[in-house]
Structure 1
Amino acid sequence: MNPPSRWRRLVQDAFTRWTRSQDAREVLAAASPRAWLSAALVIPAVLALATFAPGADRFFDLDFLEALACFVPALVLGLGFALLHRGRQHIEWWGWLYFVPGTSALQFSMACLMALAAMPGAMVFAAVLLFTAGYHGRVHRVAPSQPFLALGTVLALGLAALLARTEEHLALFAVMGPLAVILELYSGSFALEHDRTRVEAEHLRAAVQAQMLEQQERDVGRLSQALVQILGYNHDINNALMSVSAAADILSVMGVQRNALPRAEFEELVRELNEGLARIRDMVLEIRQKGRRTVNHEPENVDIVPVLESVRTTLGWRFPDVRIQVKVEGSACALVRGGVTTMRRVVENLVLNACEGNGERGAAKVDITARTEPYSGRLELLIADDGPGFPAEKLEAPIEGLSTTKPNGTGLGLYTSECLIRASGGTLERGNRPAGGAQLRILLPRELR
């Protein structure tokens, strides 16, 4: 690979890492049309106070129109970004390219005010610039390995320094400029380290949770087996009770014929025997009803959207290099036994399998689509990835527990998910996409309205 191609690949990889380390929802919320319209009202008001308030001419010495013109590029780029992404839940790569100059334009406006104001006021705007740079560094994960916003800050400060009024202003730029860039990089690096620590904690929590779930599965398995045995014994117990009752009736007849006991005493014994048998029958019936209520727990109506977003966020931190997209078409509710807990476990298991792949290569992109299946009216959940896909022999065989291609896998994720889906009256279908990668199709019943 020649040097230009190598450098281009390094820049592309760094840009990809940077975009995947972002919280798109936080960025979209901060750069919404409402936020920029509020800024369009608040910032001109602040500039007007800095220009026309009593004593402002000596402290700031700003021209209002010049100060407002510094803010116009940031406002135009910010509103453009907000309108292009209105109603979106994800930012495409071109959106991040657009985002870099927009953020740099905001820092340029602060640096321009620092260059145009008198020295006391320039110090105030320098402090605002430092705060803005530190905030951008933390929120947007600016670091030496992904310095795109830092480069924009350097360019913004360089252009604004051309407008410096005096040598004192240039000296202020010489000090505050590097401080702003260093603060931006430090804040971003600290945020990335915090993210890594949180991911490690999530991994540890997931490992502990997996062990707990495995233990719970064993306990539930033993409990289910015992419950099935108890329900099976009911039939034998009923037969025994019927035999005992019949024997008591026969004993009553034979005892009267043989005159072994006075009739009154013998009938009293038979009555007590029948009453005891009736109490046993009532207790067995109560145990059976309790067992049936446990086994036939009614499914709950679950809203899938919060579950999908929660899984996307959680696994997004664990696998920052995997792009997980969620798309919901129309109403997305389903009847699931165990409610939200079961639904989250199913989706998390299946998306986790896609991210991990076969243990050697995982997916770089996972698409989750929820929609109404047009023929049956059920909820259809599609999980598609661009990973290695399923081996042909696996697709031909039924899903089994403890069967996995991953060196450290347990083989329980897909098997457990299918069991939970079938318990809710749904189906799970496996397949491979024509372009490569795996696709899972889940159909779940919906509540009749």
Structure 2
Amino acid sequence: MKSPPASAPRGVTAFRRWVHAQDASRLLASERVGPCLGFVLRSTALLGVVTCVPRVSDFFAVPFVPALACFAPCAVNTLAFAAVHSRRERVALWGWLWRAQSLALLHFFLASLMALAAIPGAIVFGVLLLCTTAVHGRRHRVTWREPFLVVGTLAAVLCAAPLAASTGHAVLFVVVGPAALLAELYLGTLATRYDRARADADRLRAAVHAQLLEQQERDVGRLTQAMAEILGHHQEMDQALHHAGTAADMMKAFGTQRGLVARTGFEDQARQLQDSLRQLQEMVKEVRAKSRRFAGAEPEAVDLGLVLDSVQAHVSLRFPDVAIHIHVEPPPRPRALLRGGPLMLRQVVENLVVNACEGNGEQGASRVYIRARTEPLSGRLEVEIEDDGPGFPPERLLAPAEELYTTKPQGTGLGLYTSECLLRASGGLLHRHNGPGGGALLRILLPREYQ
């Protein structure tokens, strides 16, 4: 019987976990031969300025040769790492070990400058060491569970400490050393928590998006079924209109057998009937064509303000006693992305505003407020339709919109149901509420065009 394979040591597992959290592409992009050679030349020139330029050299008091000797291992290691990885597309495990060594040599160079400089200059280099370790901790995600860079920084500080020239330097090492280690760990842990929060937010966004797509697919299916039924009803209407036209022709033929006066009136009535039937046929054809065009349409940019103005003008003629107020956020005017374009959005908003004006059939609204703005959290467009009518029955607030459900004696129940299906088919949402002072409050969320 074979024994189970031994698991990897905890240190190796932690190191692999740390490597998995690194951004290899960013490292390879920054550690090219050209940038690294520029870093070495700039650092050498800075050493020359610090050690040779009058007043500056007096402030720092850094000996050039020892400082250059402390910088040489860092420079050679950096150029060698860049040369080896210049043509690579990934960094192996040994490459990350090499990277940790390069950072430790850089920290040793800064710590040695702090030890070799006079106290005022040593404080400046101590601050520089503190900032550098903090940046490296954030960039390389250093935590208590993966403290590999911290170990290198600690070794660098301990190796540079014997170079301290006075008690003041020793005190500075005692203060700056632990502060640099804590800054490296703190910012690395903070960056790791941010990565986890962003990953959780991405997963939540993906789950919500998938749920929304699933809901949209169901709504599109329901809408397609409803449109198929409507088209079937249109076919029946065509037949009924055809029979009515035949009956009108027969009425006209029978009317010719009457007296002159009666025959004239009868012919006028028959002609009006034929004209009305012809208009109904044209309307059926138009609705059918629009329904078929909408089924395969791509989202179009819609000027929300123009659509709301059109709805206000049209509904005000139908309900002159209802005051309809519109408020759109200041320019640039928002533009929505919807299948069916302006006609579809106008149909949706007009259905909802007409429902507000009609109320429950016994009591309607006397005032309707339409407000449009950009929703600050999601960035979508939000349209609120608020009225002072009877509002929704409490049992209907959380229930889904149902086809043919209505509280109005002469209603069909298709207005709210069709509006909600049309919105969801384009990625929009419709929320129903009752206002705090009574009346209905509808919130429409629409996808927005980003320019």
TM-score range, shorter-chain basis?
A: 0.5 to 0.7
Contact 1:255/1:261, CA 8 A, preserved across alignment: no
- For 2:236 and 2:9, the matched residues in 1 are separated by 73
Deviation at 1:91, TM superposition (A): 4.4
Deviation at 1:238, TM superposition (A): 2.8
Deviation at 1:10, TM superposition (A): 1.0
- For 2:235 and 2:83, the matched residues in 1 are separated by 69
- What does residue 256 of structure 2 align with? 256
- What does residue 133 of structure 2 align with? 133
Contact 2:255/2:267, CA 8 A, preserved across alignment: no
Q: How does 1:179-218 map to 2 (within 5 A)?
A: 179-206=179-206, 208-209=208-209, 211-218=211-218
CA-to-partner distance for each residue in 1:125-182, whole Å, 9 max, x for gaps?
Answer: 1111111111111221111211111112122223333444445434433432232222
Tell me which moved more, 165-174 or 110-119.
Answer: 165-174
Q: How does 1:276-295 map to 2 (within 5 A)?
A: 276-295=276-295
- What does residue 222 of structure 1 align with? 222
- For 1:34 and 1:275, the matched residues in 2 are separated by 84
Give the alignment's Cα RMSD to 1 decimal: 3.6
Deviation at 1:290, TM superposition (A): 2.0
Q: What secondary structure sits across from 2:9 in the alignment?
A: helix
- For 2:155 and 2:7, the matched residues in 1 are separated by 21
Deviation at 1:261, TM superposition (A): 6.4
Tell me which moved more, 244-253 or 134-143.
Answer: 244-253
Question: TM-score, normalised on structure 2?
Answer: 0.56
Question: TM-score, normalised on structure 1?
Answer: 0.56
CA-to-partner distance for each residue in 1:219-267, whole Å, 9 max, x for gaps?
Answer: 3332232123223333333333333333323332232245596443333
- What does residue 176 of structure 2 align with? 176
Deviation at 1:292, TM superposition (A): 1.9
Deviation at 1:291, TM superposition (A): 1.7
- What does residue 313 of structure 2 align with? none
Contact 1:143/1:188, CA 8 A, preserved across alignment: yes
**Structure 2 portions without partners, runs of 5+:** 301-337, 340-451
- What does residue 12 of structure 1 align with? 12
Q: How does 1:279-358 map to 2 (within 5 A)?
A: 279-298=279-298
2:157 matches 1:157: yes
**Structure 1 portions without partners, runs of 5+:** 301-337, 340-449
The one-letter amino acid paired with 2:109 is: S
- What does residue 238 of structure 1 align with? 238
Deviation at 1:63, TM superposition (A): 3.6
- For 1:227 and 1:86, the matched residues in 2 are separated by 61
Contact 1:25/1:89, CA 8 A, preserved across alignment: yes
- What does residue 105 of structure 2 align with? 105
- What does residue 147 of structure 1 align with? 147
Contact 1:114/1:122, CA 8 A, preserved across alignment: yes
Deviation at 1:80, TM superposition (A): 4.9
Q: What secondary structure sits across from 2:256 in the alignment?
A: helix
- For 1:299 and 1:91, the matched residues in 2 are separated by 44
Deviation at 1:187, TM superposition (A): 2.1
User: 1:74–1:237: structure 2 CA closer, same or farther, 3 Å change rule?
Assistant: farther
User: 1:80–1:228: structure 2 CA closer, same or farther, 3 Å change rule?
Assistant: farther
- For 2:148 and 2:165, the matched residues in 1 are separated by 29
The one-letter amino acid paired with 1:295 is: A
Q: What secondary structure sits across from 1:161 in the alignment?
A: helix
User: 1:288–1:73: structure 2 CA closer, same or farther, 3 Å change rule?
Assistant: farther
Q: Highest Rg: 1 or 2?
A: 2
The one-letter amino acid paired with 1:219 is: D
The one-letter amino acid paired with 2:230 is: I
- For 1:182 and 1:234, the matched residues in 2 are separated by 75
The one-letter amino acid paired with 1:106 is: L
Deviation at 1:214, TM superposition (A): 4.5
User: 1:99–1:229: structure 2 CA closer, same or farther, 3 Å change rule?
Assistant: farther
- For 1:181 and 1:152, the matched residues in 2 are separated by 10
Aligned length: 298
Q: What secondary structure sits across from 1:145 in the alignment?
A: coil
User: 1:58–1:292: structure 2 CA closer, same or farther, 3 Å change rule?
Assistant: same
User: 1:20–1:222: structure 2 CA closer, same or farther, 3 Å change rule?
Assistant: same
